[in-house]
Amino acid sequence: MGRVGKLTCLAVTCVVALATFYVSKEAFTVLAPRSSPPTWGPTVYPDAEKLQSRGNPFASGAAAVFLGTIAVRAAQQNAKEGSTACAADISGGSLELFSPAKVNLFLRIIRRRPDGYHDLASLFHTVAFGDKLVLEVLPEDAEQDQLECNLPGVPTDDSNLVIRALKLFREKSGVQRYFSVKLEKEIPAQAGMGGGSSNAAAAFFGANKLCGSPATPQDLIDWTDDPVIGSDATFFLSEGTAYCTGRGEIITPVEQLPIKDGLSVYLVKPNWGLSTGKVFQAMDLSALSTADPEELLQTFKDKGTSHSSWVNDLEKPAFKVSPELCELKDFLAGEWDFEAVLMSGSGSTIFCLGDPKGGAEAFEAATKKDFDIEGIWRTEFMRRASPTEWYTKASS
C-alpha cells in the first residue's frame, strides 16, 4: 500500500473512532464526562462547534465526520506534497564538492574470507589532494544520469562508481531523481588513494543534500555498505579519520590524531598503477605482519605520526608484482630524512611525511630523474568539520 493509501486508511479509521465515540458518549460518561468536553475540536476547527449538540449524538457524529473529512484531505495533500517536493523544487539545483584522496596510516590483512574478499584492519586518513564533482539535478522527466570527465579513458557508463552511487541512492532513499555530474579528476587511477570510492561517496552525499537530506549521516554510512560502489566509499562518509575493518566498510570513527599542524604529506605516484586483484593474488598469508592492529591504532592515537610503527601488509606482494616500486620506496626512505615512508593501500602511490632534506625542488628533480614518475604532490591531512558538512579544501 502506498503512502497516500496508508494515510487515508488512518484518517478514515480516526473518523470511525470519533463518530463511535460521540454517538456512544452517554455510555462513557465516566471516561468522558459532560463537564470535560474534548479540547481538540473547538480550538482547532471553530466551525465544528456549531455542529455539536450535547443532546444529539448524531450531531456530534456529524462533527466527527466533518473533522475526519478535513483530516483525510490534509493527509492526502501532505502525502502528495511529500512525494513530489523533491521533484517540484530542486530541478536545476547544483552543488560543487571536493572529493579527497586517502592514505592508509597502517594496513593489516587479517584473513581471507569465504566470499573472496579479505578482512583487514586499517587506519584511514583523508588528505587535501583530490578531485572535484559538480552535481546538478536534471529535469523531472530525465530517465538517466549523465557523467562527464576531464580525463579521457575514464568510463562514464554504469561501470563508473559515481553512476552506481546515484543508482544506489535512488534505491535506498526512494527519491527518483537523476543527476548531471561533471568530474574533474586529479587522483590517479590504480594509486591506492581511493579515488573512485571518494567520488562515489561525494556523489552519494551530494545527491542526498540536493534532495533535501532524506537520509541522516548515519543512514548514508549504512546505505553505502555495498561493494558495488567500492569498499572504501563508506570511509569517506566518516569525518576523515577512521579505523576500518571487514573489507573496509565497517568504520569506527577516530578523533583527530595528535598530528602537528601543517605536516607535509608528499604523494609520489610512479607512471604505472597496480591492480588490486593482482596484488592480493601475490600475497602470502603466512608472511603477514604479526603486529596487533588494536595496538597500532592506540599508538597513532597516543603519538600521532611520531613513532616507528608503520605497517602495510600489501607492500610485499605489491613489490613482488612491481620490483621497481620497491626500489622507489628504498630511494624515498633513503637520504631525504622523511619522518615516515609507506605505500598507501595496494599501491602504487607511496607517501612521505615531513619535508625532504635539501628542499622540495631538489627532491622532486632527483626522484623524477631516477624514476618514471606520474606526479609528486605536496599536501596535508584534512578532516570534515562535522558529519553534516562535506570536506572543504583550504584555498591555496
* Residues 334-372 pLDDT 10s: 999 999 999 999 999 999 999 999 999 999 999 999 999
d(CA 309, CA 195): 26
Q: Which three cell numbers stand for residue 97?
A: 564538492
- Cβ(51)–Cβ(66) under 8 Å? yes
Helix (H, G, I), strand (E, B) or coil at 196: helix
- Residue 367 CA to residue 325 CA, distance in Å, equals 12
Distances (CA, A) of 117 to 93, 109, 110, 222, 248: 39, 11, 11, 19, 10
- Give the pLDDT score at 112: 92
The closest of 266, 261, 329 to 129, measured between CA atoms, is 266
The CA distances from residue 157 to 131, 162, 184, 210, 294, in Å, are 19, 9, 16, 22, 40
Instruction: Render 305-370 in DSSP notation, one character per residue.
Output: T-SS---BTTHHHHHHH-HHHHHHHHHHTSTT--SEEEE-TTSS-EEEES--TT-HHHHHHHHHHH
And the C-alpha cell for 102? 586517502
pLDDT of 75-127, one tens digit each?
444 433 443 444 446 777 999 999 999 999 999 999 999 988 899 999 999 99
Angle at 219 between CA 214 and CA 221, to 5 degrees: 135
Q: Retrieve residue 195's grid coordinates.
A: 579515488
Residue 52: per-residue pLDDT:
37
Mean pLDDT for the chain overall: 83
**Residue 381 DSSP class:** B
Map out the domains of the chain with their CATH numbers.
3-89 (no CATH), 94-253 (3.30.230.10), 265-379 (3.30.70.890)
C-alpha cell at 70: 478535513
Task: Count CA atoms closer than 13 A to 334's CA, side-chain side.
Answer: 11
What is the three-class DSSP state of 45?
A: coil
User: What pLDDT shows up at residue 225?
Assistant: 85
Residue 16: strand, helix, or coil: helix
> What is the pLDDT, as a whole number, of residue 14?
45
> Rounded to an integer, what distance in angstroms lies between the CA atom of residue 116 and that of residue 135?
34
Q: How far apart are CA 27 and CA 10, in angstroms?
A: 25
State the pLDDT at residue 361: 97
Low-confidence ranges of the chain (pLDDT < 50): 2-88
Residue 40: per-residue pLDDT: 34
Asked if 382 contacts 103 with a C-beta cutoff of 8 angstroms, the reply is no
Q: How do beta strands 241-245 and 250-253 pair?
A: antiparallel
pTM for the model: 0.77
Distances, alpha carbon 365 to alpha carbons 67, 346, 376, in Å = 80, 26, 10
Q: Is 106 helix (H, G, I), strand (E, B) or coil?
A: strand
Query: How much is the pLDDT for 89?
Result: 61
Is-contact 16 61, C-beta < 8 A?
Answer: no
- The single-letter DSSP state of residue 388 is T
Q: What is the CA radius of gyration of the chain?
A: 29
Q: Is 264 helix (H, G, I), strand (E, B) or coil?
A: coil
Enter the C-alpha cell of residue 100. Answer: 579527497
Distance from chain centroid for Cα 45: 45
